[in-house]
Homo-oligomer: A and B are copies of this chain.
Amino acid sequence: MYLVSWFLQRELHFSPKSVCYKDEGTAPCKRNGGKKNQPTFCGGTRQVKQPPTVKHIPFSNQTALIYFKKKLINILPKSKNGNQPEKDSDAAQSLFVGGKMSAPAATQLLDLHSARALVDSVEAFLFDCDGVIWKGDKLIDGVPETLDLLRSKGKKLVFVTNNSTKSRRQYAAKFHSLGISVSEDEIFSSSFAAAMYLKVKEFPPEKKVYVIGMEGIVKELEQAGFTAIGGPEDAEKRAEWKSNTLFEHDKSVGAVVVGLDPYVNYHKLQYATLCVRENPGCLFIATNQDAVGHMTDLQEWPGAGCMVAALRGSTEREPIVVGKPSTFMMDFLLQKFNISTSKMCMVGDRLDTDILFGQSSGCKTLLVLSGVTTETLLHSPSNQIKPDYYTTQVSDFIGFLGS
């Protein structure tokens, strides 16, 4: 209890504020700008026919603790053996994503008028990184100037990435190496989210976490006070099939975290499978489930969705997903910046992660075509996820706002 309280104080900079709880309802809520049918920070709304119950209560550290515990721990259904909740991920998704959003009437190509109106109405821009800021290790044209322009207009900037390979510190270094000044506090990676999930879940610090993934996950887990094993250390290990071979695994592993892993191998899959299948109550956490990503600047390669699916295949269990489109990270953002989601704009190149993540949280959404999504896919009848706006790349803002 103390640990979580300490963590919330340290990481989330809670101060006594007002926050509304809207358990189940569709009525407008002041904190999301009066939008109907949009889930907000106010408690992971779901659309029901019952009249809404909205309560405004003082928000202290203690309240925050209760709030997070209620959202993350107490609401999740317990399994029969009292250990890991059954279908954690479904519960988490429904809690955080808040069900299917009603799409806006039409997606609008960003132009002079709408760009200015958008910037005027928004206090914080949330940027995905891969396909928006860079592709692989190559900066996308005009990004530094665009970020400088938005900062000069007093906008807060946040970088929300599903890529778990780096820690926030490593991401800040990458930004700097590309000539962009970004602080660690402005970065929300899925590696950080995995560590925060365990914190909020009050994961016992004496238990271990097995990692399929890279250094970013290990670093964030260690920074949060957990013991991480596996990951890069198991890159060259091989599991041999021999008669009378018993593959030993650590019975004190209480969670497996799976993210993108270019050194995935049978040893790691075997280790993680035994932990999830045989250690009672062992959690199966996925940083994200992106099928592919720009690992280099020329091509899409298998993403974390590949490794997560592999473990799903061998364990027959569904993961708890902490990255986009789960809005788990949004709860942290809202506490940190204290800005209504209606005054945020999520800028991303993916419909099923970035845009869905923004819409699910009640943000405005802007799709850029500099990443994986083409204009044809955006407008295809099969696509049900429609952003508010779309444009070629983020530097288009310079033309609209500079003239």
Interface residues of A (CB under 8 A from B): 136-138, 238-239, 241-247, 261-266, 269-270, 273-274, 277, 289, 291-292, 295-303, 305-316
Q: Which residues of B contact A269 (CB under 8 A)?
A: 264, 302, 306
Asked whether A291 lies within 8 Å of B309 as measured between CB atoms, the reply is no
* A250 → B minimal CB distance (Å): 15
Asked whether B239 lies within 8 Å of A301 as measured between CB atoms, the reply is yes
Asked whether B313 lies within 8 Å of A241 as measured between CB atoms, the reply is no
The residue from B238, B242, B270, B291 contacting A315, defined by CB atoms under 8 A apart = B291
The docked-state distance in angstroms from the alpha carbon of A308 to that of B277 is 19
* A351 → B minimal CB distance (Å): 13
Asked whether A243 lies within 8 Å of B292 as measured between CB atoms, the reply is no
* A132 → B minimal CB distance (Å): 17
Asked whether B316 lies within 8 Å of A273 as measured between CB atoms, the reply is no
Asked whether A301 lies within 8 Å of B270 as measured between CB atoms, the reply is yes
Identity of the chain B residue whose Cβ is nearest the Cβ of A263 in the assembled complex: B266
The residue from B137, B273, B301, B312 contacting A247, defined by CB atoms under 8 A apart = B301
Identity of the chain B residue whose Cβ is nearest the Cβ of A312 in the assembled complex: B309
The docked-state distance in angstroms from the alpha carbon of A88 to that of B330 is 39
Assuming the contacts A306-B314, A309-B313, asked whether A264 and B265 have C-beta atoms less than 8 A apart, the reply is: yes
Identity of the chain B residue whose Cβ is nearest the Cβ of A243 in the assembled complex: B137
The docked-state distance in angstroms from the alpha carbon of A300 to that of B265 is 17
Closest 5 CB pairs of A and B: A309-B313, A310-B310, A302-B314, A306-B314, A137-B243
The docked-state distance in angstroms from the alpha carbon of A126 to that of B297 is 52
Assuming the contacts A296-B241, A296-B244, A313-B309, asked whether A302 and B273 have C-beta atoms less than 8 A apart, the reply is: yes
Asked whether A305 lies within 8 Å of B299 as measured between CB atoms, the reply is no
The docked-state distance in angstroms from the alpha carbon of A312 to that of B313 is 10
Asked whether B136 lies within 8 Å of A295 as measured between CB atoms, the reply is no
* A380 → B minimal CB distance (Å): 12
* A376 → B minimal CB distance (Å): 14
Q: Which residues of B contact A270 (CB under 8 A)?
A: 301-302
Asked whether B302 lies within 8 Å of A308 as measured between CB atoms, the reply is no
Asked whether B266 lies within 8 Å of A266 as measured between CB atoms, the reply is no
Asked whether A306 lies within 8 Å of B137 as measured between CB atoms, the reply is no
Asked whether A136 lies within 8 Å of B296 as measured between CB atoms, the reply is no
Q: Which residues of B contact A137 (CB under 8 A)?
A: 242-243
* A295 → B minimal CB distance (Å): 5
Asked whether B298 lies within 8 Å of A273 as measured between CB atoms, the reply is no
Q: Which residues of B contact A313 (CB under 8 A)?
A: 289, 291, 302, 305-310, 312
The docked-state distance in angstroms from the alpha carbon of A264 to that of B314 is 14
The docked-state distance in angstroms from the alpha carbon of A242 to that of B289 is 22
Asked whether A297 lies within 8 Å of B241 as measured between CB atoms, the reply is no
- 26 A–B pairs (Cβ distance < 8 Å), ordered by A: A239-B262, A242-B296, A243-B296, A245-B298, A245-B299, A246-B298, A247-B299, A247-B301, A262-B266, A263-B265, A264-B264, A270-B301, A270-B302, A273-B301, A273-B306, A277-B292, A277-B300, A291-B313, A291-B314, A291-B315, A292-B314, A302-B310, A305-B314, A307-B313, A309-B312, A312-B313
